[in-house]
Amino acid sequence: MPTHTEKLGWIGAGRMGYAMVERLAKAGCDIAVWNRTKAKADPLAEHGAKVVTHLDELAGKDILFCMVSTYDDVKEVIGKALVKGRPGMVVECSSISLEGSAELRKTLERERVQYLAAPVSGNAKVIKAGKLTFVVSGPKEAYERARRYLDMMGTGSSYVGAGELSRVAKICHNVMLGVVVQSLCEITILAQKAGMPRHAFLDFLNKSVMGSMFTRYKTPALVNLDFHVTFTPKLLRKDLDLGLDAGREHEVPMPLTSITRDLLQQMIGHGMTEEDFSTLLLMQARASGIELEPENVALSDGL
């Protein structure tokens, strides 16, 4: 039975968007969803979502969520959704630039639509495990209104202030992602060259105070060399560049980020661009004079 009276709209049912809508629909929300390829969204109807054919069918919703690929996509789809009526609020969850987010905010303010920038931490598997998190900026009263829906999609959200501060937070988050995975690759190769199996070392690390959801999640890739894409090297390079740009703007030295960016560029220069960014492990191994083989150990990814 529906548990919430607000009418929600959702744009984008890719891997991330689909899993997010599914959680809202299963929670009993009144939600209509549009996707460029409608067939990909159709199965959501089984969970109670209304799958619409045209963007203007999302006009006038109380809250309109957006989860698409690029800022150009955001501008196009939000514009079409506004044609027949303004939503009360737009919650934009895509990974877009600070500049794009600020431009969108100005556009929506002219239309008297509240806007929350709400990028996420996690991927589709994280969403299914109920562990997605949001970082949010914009009007505080809008956040308090949207918060319950964000909480339904994961473990909660963090409000960091006005304007585009959540985009800055996401850049900082992804900078840490790059620095941590490089460090994890370095110590894993050191342990192996000293004589330890990778799985044994990482089992110890994950059980220690230094273990984390991230180290546990990446352990199967580092042990079994299964580098199916969760985040490409080029996308990570983009975020490290954004972090370095922000560091220059705010006069913050970022030496670890700079070194990690150079190592990532070296990997991209070798043509290692189509697999997951954790292929940094292979570069570290080659630099250390060893070739890696999968250990073929059954492991949980911690989710």
Question: What is the DSSP secondary-structure string of 233-258?
Answer: HHHHHHHHHHHHHHHHHTT---HHHH
| CATH code for the domain defined by 7-163 | 3.40.50.720
Report the percentage of the chain scoring pLDDT > 70.
Answer: 99
CA–CA dist 121, 190 (Å, integer): 29
**Do 7-163 and 168-287 show the same overall fold?**
no
In this prediction, residue 2 carries a pLDDT of 44
In this prediction, residue 303 carries a pLDDT of 80
Over residues 273-302, the mean pLDDT reads 94
DSSP H or E run through 66? strand 63-66
Under a CB-based contact definition with an 8 Å cutoff, are residues 66 and 90 in contact?
yes
In this prediction, residue 262 carries a pLDDT of 97
In this prediction, residue 1 carries a pLDDT of 39
In this prediction, residue 20 carries a pLDDT of 97
- The CATH label, of 2.40.10.10, 1.10.10.10, 1.10.287.130, 1.10.1040.10, for the domain at 168-287 is 1.10.1040.10
CA–CA dist 49, 41 (Å, integer): 9
pLDDT digits (tens, 9 = 90+) for 4-60: 679 999 999 999 999 999 999 999 999 999 999 999 999 999 999 999 999 999 989
Domain coordinates of the chain in residue numbers? Answer: 7-163, 168-287
DSSP H or E run through 222? helix 213-224
In this prediction, residue 4 carries a pLDDT of 60
Amino acid identity for residue 143 in this structure = Y
Over residues 144-173, the mean pLDDT reads 96
Mean of the per-residue pLDDT values of the chain: 95
pLDDT digits (tens, 9 = 90+) for 184-216: 999 999 999 999 999 999 999 999 999 999 999
CA–CA dist 43, 59 (Å, integer): 22
The single residue listed with the structure tokens 């995975």 is: 181
pLDDT digits (tens, 9 = 90+) for 116-127: 999 999 988 899
pLDDT digits (tens, 9 = 90+) for 85-129: 899 999 999 988 899 999 999 999 999 999 999 999 998 889 999
In this prediction, residue 186 carries a pLDDT of 98
Within its chain, how far is the Cα of 50 from the centroid? Answer: 25
In this prediction, residue 69 carries a pLDDT of 87
- Residue 13, SS3? coil
In this prediction, residue 117 carries a pLDDT of 98
Measured CA distances, 242 to 69, 208, 253 (Å) = 17, 32, 14
Report CA torsion sign: 201, 207, 209, 210.
positive
